[in-house]
């Protein structure tokens, strides 16, 4: 059997580096690393001896901001060859959005040039390496998502490590929104799922809400460590112009715009507004529908379903379509605290709608779902959770669970009023809902990614205060040895997928 070629997308989290460290012990192959990292991180990867790569490539080095004009003819041929829209791809990169990047305003020419250079780089690499597998985390932007799309078009098997719709669980699949192995009519019911209370207890035991709360911005770090982080930043020799993601950044404007104190003041101001204008308790005197806001910037709104990225417009359409007795309750995502919340004007526009109220972010989804009559969701897990709480839902994107009888996928907002009436009359099928949850459980595994990421930040990045740091070899070795069992678990799950493909697909052999 020929030796497999494995392409690894390595980012700043070092998660896939740890996976590769353990996987190479169990699966002899040619490993090629694409490093979307800082210079310091790449320097460490070149000199370390924990993983033997056949080749390591620092992807940002291939992005050059030149005076050259974009080759529109090349990009047009790319669109036709791969059936991938250029402008939709451009939209996936959060650094290109002024809304999310306060340091630099990328011109259209620059965006197209970077995309053109990326396509040429990836095509040359894929032609030369001819990988059997691509190992990556959830794609979140232009450059990792482009690689993912090109690999899928070429028949490369994708092993995407991603969260499930259940907390503290991960899954490996070729698609972000669908499991690789899924039986709609499984004949293997879970004996632990006898009624809706059992389903609710299951998702509460693995609460996604509790897990994502760990992402909230905190300032619980000693003054000594804060000061040390500041000194490292002040006296570092970082070349902020080299990496496209750092365009427009300098020590001066990072200090003026990015200091923890400045962010804390802004966050406190918006929190005062939120506390004043949101409901702390759910009124019981009339029926209501529920719409949870998505975190931004987020893959779902930028990469998967960009046509629904204007959440205020969706709220307005729902507001116009609700029956007269209904209110719409909207709640912000709790991890927006990490982004210092949204501008107060965003919340004011929602509050200006006559039948819409804002719920305080501290109210748990469990309490809301137990009391609501109908749930709306763009593509998040709330549509699934509604069924688990025996409530109908309306979703605006085709998801894995839209086959559930109580979940209605609405394709046209002009039909929303009729869809709402039909959805309110629909019933949740317990057997079909429990079957889906059982399949999700069988295809996933328990793993707390956020904790290992938190430990990495505590060890190397001053709790996230300073990102572009050096990586001492001995300290890195100690970290990966300390978490060897965690990475071994992840490697074993990847190996299961690899072996499945080797046994079932001739392209992987």
The pLDDT tens digits for 88-103 are 999 999 999 888 888 8
Structure confidence by residue, pLDDT tens digits, 338-395: 777 888 999 999 999 999 999 999 999 999 999 999 999 998 889 999 999 999 999 9
Residue 463 pLDDT grade (very low, low, confident, very high; cuts 50, 70, 90): very low
Are the CB atoms for 209 and 432 separated by under 8 Å? no
Q: In DSSP terms, which residues pair with 471 in a beta bridge?
A: none
pLDDT value for 259: 55
Which has the higher per-residue pLDDT, 215 or 423? 423
Residue 382 counted as domain residue: yes
pLDDT surpasses 60 at 301: yes
Structure confidence by residue, pLDDT tens digits, 197-226: 999 998 888 776 666 665 554 445 555 555
The sheet that has 445-446: what strands, in order across it? 55-58, 30-35, 5-10, 133-137, 157-163, 169-173, 445-446
Structure confidence by residue, pLDDT tens digits, 157-200: 999 999 887 888 999 999 988 888 877 766 677 888 899 999 99
Residue 41 counted as domain residue: no
Structure confidence by residue, pLDDT tens digits, 252-273: 666 666 555 566 677 788 889 9
Measured distance between the N- and C-terminal CA atoms of the chain, rounded to whole angstroms: 7
Residue 372 counted as domain residue: yes
Residue 112 counted as domain residue: no
Residue 158 counted as domain residue: no
**Rg, Å, the chain Cα set:** 24
Report d(CA 472, CA 288) in Å as an integer: 55
Residue 121 counted as domain residue: no
Query: 84, 171, 177, 145: which is closest to 377 by C-alpha?
Result: 177
Boundaries of domain holding 269: 199-441
Count the domains in the chain: 1
Report d(CA 329, CA 322) in Å as an integer: 12
Assign residue 352 the CATH number of its domain: 3.40.50.2000
Residue 85 counted as domain residue: no
Residue 16 counted as domain residue: no
* Top mean-pLDDT range of 193-197, 232-236, 328-332: 328-332
């Amino acid at each position: 059997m020929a030796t497999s070629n494995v392409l690894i997308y390595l980012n700043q989290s070092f998660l896939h580096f740890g996976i590769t460290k353990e996987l190479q012990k169990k699966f002899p192959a040619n490993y090629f690393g694409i490093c979307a990292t800082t210079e310091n991180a790449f320097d460490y990867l070149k000199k370390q001896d924990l993983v033997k790569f056949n080749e390591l490539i620092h992807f940002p080095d291939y992005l050059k901001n030149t005076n050259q004009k974009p080759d529109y003819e090349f990009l047009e041929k790319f669109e036709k060859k791969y059936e991938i829209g250029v402008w939709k791809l451009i939209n996936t990169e959060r650094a290109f959005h002024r809304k999310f990047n306060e340091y630099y305003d990328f011109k259209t020419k620059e965006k197209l040039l970077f995309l053109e250079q990326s396509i040429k780089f990836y095509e040359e690499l894929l032609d030369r390496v001819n990988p059997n597998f691509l190992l990556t985390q959830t794609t979140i932007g232009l450059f990792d998502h482009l690689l993912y799309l090109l690999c899928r078009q070429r028949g490369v098997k994708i092993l995407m490590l991603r969260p499930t719709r259940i907390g503290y669980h991960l899954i490996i699949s070729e698609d972000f929104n669908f499991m690789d192995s899924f039986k709609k009519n499984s004949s293997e019911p879970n004996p632990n799922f006898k009624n809706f209370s059992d389903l609710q207890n299951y998702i509460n035991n693995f609460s996604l809400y509790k897990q994502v709360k760990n992402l909230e911005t905190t300032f619980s770090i000693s003054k000594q460590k804060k000061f040390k982080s500041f000194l490292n930043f002040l006296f570092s020799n970082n070349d902020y112009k080299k990496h496209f993601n750092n365009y427009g950044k300098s020590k001066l404007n990072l200090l003026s715009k990015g200091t923890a104190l400045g962010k804390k003041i802004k966050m406190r101001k918006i929190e005062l507004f939120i506390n004043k204008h949101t409901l702390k308790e759910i009124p019981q005197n009339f029926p209501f529908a529920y719409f949870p806001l998505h975190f931004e910037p987020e893959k779902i709104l930028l990469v998967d379903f960009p046509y629904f990225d204007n959440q205020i417009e969706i709220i307005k359409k729902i507001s116009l379509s609700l029956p007269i007795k209904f209110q719409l309750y909207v709640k912000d995502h709790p991890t927006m605290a990490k982004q210092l919340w949204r501008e107060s004007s965003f919340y004011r526009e929602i509050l200006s709608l006559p039948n819409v109220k804002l719920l305080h972010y501290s109210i748990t989804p469990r309490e809301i779902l137990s009391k609501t009559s109908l749930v709306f969701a763009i593509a998040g897990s709330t549509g699934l959770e509604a069924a688990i709480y025996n409530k109908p839902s309306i979703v605006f994107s085709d998801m894995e669970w839209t086959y559930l009888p109580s979940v209605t996928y609405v394709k046209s907002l002009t039909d929303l009023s009729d869809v709402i009436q039909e959805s309110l009359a629909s019933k949740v099928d317990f057997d079909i809902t429990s079957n889906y949850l059982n399949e999700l459980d069988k295809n996933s595994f328990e793993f707390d990614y956020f904790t290992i990421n938190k430990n990495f930040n505590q060890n190397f990045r001053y709790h996230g205060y300073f990102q572009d740091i050096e990586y001492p070899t001995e300290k890195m070795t100690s970290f990966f040895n300390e978490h060897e069992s965690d990475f071994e678990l992840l490697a074993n799950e990847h190996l299961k997928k690899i072996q499945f493909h080797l046994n079932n697909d001739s392209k992987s052999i």
